[in-house]
Structure 1
Amino acid sequence: MNKARLAAAPLPTSPPVRLLFASAAILLALLSLPQASHAQGIVRGAQEGSYEGNRIAGPVGGAVGGVVGAGVGGAVGAVEGVLGIPHRHYRHRCRGYYDGYHRFHCYR
């Protein structure tokens, strides 16, 4: 009884699976980096801190407020940037109302 044997066909040449997974991981890591617009916590924190410190305690308060504001603004900006939390402002300078789409409108 003769049994016919089949020869295995060679696989087509393609990049290794590990290389595909590594390139996909690198691509996703590059896409998940925060944009440059998200890294403004240090500068804005220093500006607001120096303004408030100067308003309350004069030039010395402005210098101290700028340093503290830069530290706190940088920390908050870094945490929000890493976690992807949007910075939302709920403080309004006028009297108004929220519409059905949760947008604030001033009376004037």
Structure 2
Amino acid sequence: MKPRVIAFVGLIGLLSLPVAAQAQGFVGGAEEGAHRGNQAAGPVGAVVGGAVGAGVGTVNGALGLGYHHHRCYWRHGYRHCRY
């Protein structure tokens, strides 16, 4: 009986790994969505943008997307970055 319980707990642990990845994208997506929604449509846009951003951030976190590498260079004494 104990090996079956250990196998079951291990399976549940493996299945919970994507949830941990989704949680990382949830907060960042909600913040970014609320910020952009607020700029576009005020307080109502912030609420809608936060909800949509949380959903998109969750999916991107599960898929491993959303980690952008910034390309920066120096020109004429100023730092320029492309996102």
* TM above 0.5: yes
- Interval containing the TM-score (normalised by the shorter chain): 0.5 to 0.7
Alignment partner for residue 49 of structure 2, among 69, 73, 77?
69
If each structure's helix is expressed as a fraction of its own residues, which one has the higher value?
A: 2
For the aligned residues, what is the CA RMSD?
2.6
If each structure's strand is expressed as a fraction of its own residues, which one has the higher value?
A: 2
Which digits, 9 at most, give the CA deviation of each residue in 1:48-103, with x for residues without a partner? 210x22xxxxxxx312321331232122112223x33221447xxxxxxxxxxxx7
Percent identity of paired positions between Structure 1 and Structure 2: 30
2: CA distance between counterparts of 1:21 and 1:42? 36
TM (norm. structure 2) is: 0.60
Unaligned regions of 5+ residues in structure 1, if any? 1-14, 54-60, 91-102
The SS at the match of 2:42 is helix
Unaligned regions of 5+ residues in structure 2, if any? 79-83
Bigger CA radius of gyration: 1
Runs of 4+ in 1 over 6 A off after TM superposition: none
TM (norm. structure 1) is: 0.50
2: CA distance between counterparts of 1:74 and 1:105? 28
